[in-house]
Homo-oligomer: A and B are copies of this chain.
Amino acid sequence: MVRFGIIGYGYWGPNIVRNIHGISPEKVVAICDKSEKNLARAKRAYPDVHVTADASELLTNPNIDAIAVITPVWTHFDLARQALQNGKHVFIEKPFTATAAQAAELIELAEQKNLTIMVDHTFLFTGAVRKIRQLVDDGTLGKLYYYDSMRVNLGLFQHDVNVLWDLAPHDLSIVDYLIGREAEAIVATGSGHLNGLADVAYMTVYYPDNVIAHLNVNWLSPVKIRTTLIGGEKKMLVWNDLEADEKIKVYDRGVNINSAEGVYEALVSYRSGDMYSPKVEATEALKLELAYFIECVKSGQRPFNDGQSGLRVVKLLEAAETSLKRKGEMVYA
């Protein structure tokens, strides 16, 4: 049995609690939040769970095995460090930490203590991303050409981070998961129109072998768009996460380059065949992820979305932030 303490019961925290509750109800021992209102909500929904505004109660509680840190990013390092120091496993919101240095320190601490860190890159557990990974791994798409994501909507504005830190971690963790290689360079551009923080931003990540990822994140869009194009040598894919039923479409389309016979001759031919939309597993991603966390804690297995995975995303964010400030100057990741 894994006994949880939950720190942070704002927007996302209740989903964590509800899912742990669903897997094994007895395991949420205590919930902590700074807000009286949030604590009252927690109390009403889970009368048997201890609630408190004092995080140290959870961090030092010997009846708690794992701490879920569901708080703003600037508080992550301190809370996770204390949890690890007190021998507790850590399930932590993305982005992992505010700096790469913090992430590295937490990883080392967890290794010394032989504890599990899992960074909550929930998207990696969705049916859609797991299906895409499968289509990459089994060679359906062929060699990858590009990953191009548009993730825009109206708000929500954050007070402490710009749109990159808010929205880009989703795609950065997915790209990391699909490509499995270190980025070579980062270029980020963008602009802020309201409170000084970038609310519109674009990010290009160069990977080896001409693989390129591009992210378009925007808090000032009148419409919500969640569309990703993935180009491969053999097939190409469109992932529209807002579609209820046909989230992924795989196109038998592509280009063949012929040997050139002259600048005026056709060098390329197009291939255009059927499209198909594979059925995507509908189980709630967070439920699968938390079950996986519990399994990793019990077995000592290292999760694939571990601290290292979180660190790689934070490094890319740091580099993007630097590039953004320099108006697109390339930063080596």
Residue numbers of A with Cβ under 8 A of B are: 47, 145-146, 148, 150, 152, 154-155, 157, 159-160, 185, 187, 189-195, 200, 202, 204, 206, 210-212, 214, 216, 218-224, 229, 231, 233, 235-238, 242, 244-246, 249, 251-255, 257, 260, 263-264, 267-268, 270, 272-279, 323, 326-330
> Contacts of A279 on B, CB cut-off 8 Å?
252, 272-274
Chain B residues contacting A216 (CB-CB under 8 Å) are 148, 214, 216
Query: Smallest CB–CB gap between A255 and chain B, Å?
Result: 6
A43 to B202, CA, bound (A): 50
Q: By the criterion CB–CB under 8 Å, are B330 and A264 in contact?
A: no
Q: A274-B279, A277-B275, A329-B328 are in contact. Are A152 and B229 (CB under 8 A)?
A: yes
Contact A274 B272, beta carbon cutoff 8 Å:
no
Q: Which of B212, B231, B277 contacts A276 (CB 8 A)?
A: B277
- Cross-interface CB contact of A328 among B231, B246, B260, B328, cutoff 8 Å: B328
Does A268 contact B200, Cβ atoms closer than 8 Å?
A: no
How many copies, total?
A: 4
Q: A185-B328, A187-B327, A328-B329 are in contact. List 7 more A-B contacts (CB 8 A).
A: A145-B200, A152-B229, A155-B270, A222-B275, A246-B275, A275-B276, A327-B330
Taking a contact as CB atoms under 8 Å apart, the answer to whether B212 and A200 are in contact is yes
Q: In the assembled complex, which residues on chain B have CB atoms less than 8 Å from the CB atom of A195?
A: 257, 260, 267-268
Q: Which of B146, B193, B238 is in CB contact (< 8 Å) with A191?
A: B146
Q: Complex Cα distance A191/B238, Å?
A: 19
Which residue of A159, A204, A236, A329 has the most chain B CB atoms within 10 A of its CB atom? A204
From known contacts A185-B327, A236-B222, infer whether A255 and B190 are also in contact, taking CB-CB under 8 Å: no
- Nearest residue (CB) in B for A250 is B222
Q: Of A146, A192, A272, which is in contact with the most chain B CB atoms at under 10 Å from its CB? A: A146
A-B contact pairs, 21 of them (CB 8 A): A145-B193, A146-B218, A148-B200, A152-B229, A154-B254, A155-B270, A157-B267, A159-B260, A159-B263, A159-B264, A187-B187, A189-B204, A189-B206, A190-B204, A195-B268, A214-B216, A220-B231, A222-B231, A222-B235, A223-B245, A275-B276
Measured between beta carbons, the chain B residues less than 8 angstroms from A185 are 327-328
Q: Say yes or no: A329-B329 contact (C-beta < 8 A), given A210-B192, A214-B189, A231-B200.
A: yes
